[in-house]
């Protein structure tokens, strides 16, 4: 908006104007109170005042939830605190009456967790996805006003067109709302948990590929160790998680594919979805699993044989292990957990992470020049994954 001249306005806005304004910009009501209208149409109140010698802009919340009269009352109270030498921002944070908006809560969660992320780029991506996809719908809502239909409105436009991004947005919204509950701003269940029931099936991750958040994988492995499934089943499942491979690749693995001297498992092209040989570096725990599987295998050609040494374990063995543990995920879903962890918790390049999953390079020109498989770089990545998922076991030991 153009800069105003002359006397500062006072109570310049009316309730009718607040409802009818559509043009993006900042509209002054007076005494530092502004109505901000975003390009998306969202409206919010902001107080501009001086706090201990510094100018501060203090968000007061969404205009759809806070009336003009309430915004003026809150602004007056905060200005009084500032004039008395206090900090109205700190006052609002400690006040149980004022619940933060989703946008404010997301920024606070991001700031609190930033130091735990190893890679600044991925830390920035975490908040950028929420700013881009969640904030236009949820940003100005108080965190205790967010329910499943509102989250559905965020995810529905990108659920099929950008499935991986949509899953990450869903997980990150859940993290913000978990924080809000822990901070006392919400109660009840997290509305993210039931949102997929209202969304169509994604072509690249069908319903039967449900995945755990990567932060829960170490606890899952602990639970797997304590489960009553057969030991060979537990070993196969842990091997699958540690190698981030597909179920049929693990269950069909033979001793001829294992090179213990090189700590390497080579899956032949005929057993790979992409039709190209895939070498898998084996972390220390994988070697321990192999040693124990050898003892249990009764001379079978398969690493993980069924009761008949002539046949490998079936997919049903892993499915039944999950059912006994009462965990609503699938074996294949752990590949998604690994990919999210690699993106958010490591600084490894995109190509290294994709090759760890035996994904092909979509760019044909680049693929033609890429002769190697980045084995040693992938070995570092898989060793980090091993240390992450076995952290609980290591701490217990």
Instruction: Grade residue 363 by pLDDT with cuts at 50, 70 and 90.
Output: very low
pLDDT for 144-186, tens place per residue? 899 999 999 999 988 888 888 888 899 899 989 988 887 778 8
**Residue 122's CATH number:** 1.10.150.130
Q: Looking at residue 96, what is its pLDDT?
A: 44
Whether 143 contacts 180, CB under 8 Å: yes
User: Do residue 197 and residue 220 come from a single domain?
Assistant: no
Which residues, listed in sequence order, are joined to residue 59 by a DSSP beta bridge?
A: 46
Residue 196 resides in a domain: yes
Write the DSSP string, 133-167.
IIHHHHTTSBGGG--HHHHHHHHTTTTTTSHHHHH
Q: Looking at residue 366, what is its pLDDT?
A: 42
pLDDT for 324-341, tens place per residue? 998 888 888 899 899 989
* Cβ-proximal residues to 48 (8 Å cutoff; 6+ apart), any chain: 32, 34, 55, 56, 57, 58
User: Do residue 68 and residue 91 come from a single domain?
Assistant: yes
Boundary of a domain, candidates 203, 227, 248 = 203
User: Do residue 222 and residue 338 come from a single domain?
Assistant: yes
Instruction: Grade residue 93 by pLDDT with cuts at 50, 70 and 90.
Output: low
How far, in Å, are 3, 15, 25, 76, 383 from residue 9 at the CA level?
Answer: 12, 16, 16, 15, 63
Q: Looking at residue 92, what is its pLDDT?
A: 62
User: Do residue 89 and residue 120 come from a single domain?
Assistant: no
Which residues, listed in sequence order, are joined to residue 57 by a DSSP beta bridge?
A: 48
Number of domains, the chain: 3
Report which of residues 346 and 384 the model is more confident about. 384
Report which of residues 7 and 41 the model is more confident about. 41
Q: CA–CA separation, 241 vs 235, rounded Å?
A: 10
**Residue 51's CATH number:** 3.30.160.390
pLDDT for 246-260, tens place per residue? 999 999 999 999 999
Query: Is the pLDDT reported for residue 371 higher than 60?
Result: no
End-to-end CA distance of the chain: 63
* Cβ-proximal residues to 361 (8 Å cutoff; 6+ apart), any chain: 351, 354, 367, 370
154's tokens: 């965020």
pLDDT for 57-69, tens place per residue? 888 877 766 789 8
Residue 341 resides in a domain: yes
Query: Is the pLDDT reported for residue 2 higher than 50?
Result: no
Residue 380 resides in a domain: yes
Average of per-residue pLDDT values in the chain: 84
CA trace torsion 370, 371, 373, 377 (10° rounding): -70
Boundary of a domain, candidates 52, 83, 98 = 98
User: Do residue 272 and residue 372 come from a single domain?
Assistant: yes
User: Do residue 339 and residue 385 come from a single domain?
Assistant: yes
User: Do residue 275 and residue 339 come from a single domain?
Assistant: yes
Residue 92 resides in a domain: yes
User: Do residue 227 and residue 354 come from a single domain?
Assistant: yes
User: Do residue 234 and residue 113 come from a single domain?
Assistant: no
User: Do residue 132 and residue 250 come from a single domain?
Assistant: no
Instruction: Grade residue 77 by pLDDT with cuts at 50, 70 and 90.
Output: confident
Query: Is the pLDDT reported for residue 90 higher than 80?
Result: no
Boundary of a domain, candidates 181, 203, 225 = 203
Q: Looking at residue 395, what is its pLDDT?
A: 44
User: Do residue 218 and residue 365 come from a single domain?
Assistant: yes
Percent of the chain scoring above 70 in pLDDT: 86
User: Do residue 179 and residue 228 come from a single domain?
Assistant: no
Residue 131 resides in a domain: yes
Residue 111 resides in a domain: yes
Query: Region 34-57: what's the mean pLDDT?
Result: 84
Domain that holds residue 49: 15-98
Residue 1 resides in a domain: no
For the beta carbon of residue 114, count every other beta carbon within 10 angstroms.
13
Residue 386 resides in a domain: yes
Q: Looking at residue 181, what is its pLDDT?
A: 83
Residue with tokens 């104007």: 17
Percent of the chain scoring above 90 in pLDDT: 39
Write the DSSP string, 289-312.
HHHHHHHHSTT-SBSSB-SSTTSB
DSSP helix, strand, coil percent of the chain (3-state; round to 5): 55, 10, 35
pLDDT for 221-272, tens place per residue? 999 999 999 999 999 999 999 999 999 999 999 999 999 999 999 999 888 8
């Amino acid at each position: 908006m153009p800069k105003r001249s002359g006397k500062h306005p006072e109570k310049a806005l009316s309730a009718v104007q607040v409802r009818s304004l559509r043009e993006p910009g900042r509209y002054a009501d007076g005494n530092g109170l502004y109505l901000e209208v975003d390009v998306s149409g969202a409206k919010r109140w902001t107080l501009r005042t001086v706090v201990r010698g510094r100018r501060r802009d203090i968000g007061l919340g969404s205009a759809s939830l806070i009336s003009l009269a309430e915004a003026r009352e809150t602004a007056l109270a905060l200005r009084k605190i500032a004039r008395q030498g206090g900090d109205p921002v700190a006052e609002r944070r400690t006040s149980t009456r004022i619940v933060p908006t989703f946008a404010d809560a997301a920024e606070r969660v991001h700031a609190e967790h930033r130091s735990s992320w190893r890679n600044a780029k991925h830390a920035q991506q975490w908040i950028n996805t929420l700013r881009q996809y969640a904030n236009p719908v949820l940003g100005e809502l108080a965190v205790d006003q967010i329910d499943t239909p509102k989250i559905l409105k965020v995810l529905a436009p990108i659920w099929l067109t950008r499935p991986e991004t949509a899953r990450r947005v869903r997980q990150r919204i859940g993290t913000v709302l978990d924080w809000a509950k822990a901070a006392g701003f919400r109660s009840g269940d997290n509305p993210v948990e039931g949102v997929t029931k209202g969304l169509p099936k994604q072509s690249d991750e069908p319903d039967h590929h449900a995945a755990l958040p990567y932060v829960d994988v170490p606890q899952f492995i602990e639970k797997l160790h304590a489960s009553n499934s057969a030991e060979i089943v537990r070993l196969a499942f842990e091997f699958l998680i540690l190698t981030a491979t597909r179920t049929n690749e693990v269950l069909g693995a033979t001793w001829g594919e294992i090179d213990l001297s090189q700590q390497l498992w080579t899956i032949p092209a005929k057993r790979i979805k992409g039709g190209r040989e895939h070498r898998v570096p084996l972390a220390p725990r994988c070697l321990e699993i192999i040693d124990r599987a050898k003892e249990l295998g009764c001379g079978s050609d398969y690493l993980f044989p069924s009761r008949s040494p002539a046949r490998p374990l079936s997919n049903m063995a892993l499915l039944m292990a999950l059912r006994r543990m009462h965990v609503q995920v699938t074996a294949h879903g752990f590949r998604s957990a690994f990919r999210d962890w690699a993106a958010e918790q490591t600084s490894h390049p995109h190509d290294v992470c994709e090759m760890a999953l035996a994904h092909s390079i979509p760019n044909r020109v680049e693929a033609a020049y890429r002769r190697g498989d980045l084995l040693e770089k992938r070995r570092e990545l898989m060793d980090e994954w091993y240390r992450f998922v076995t952290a609980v076991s290591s701490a217990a030991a």
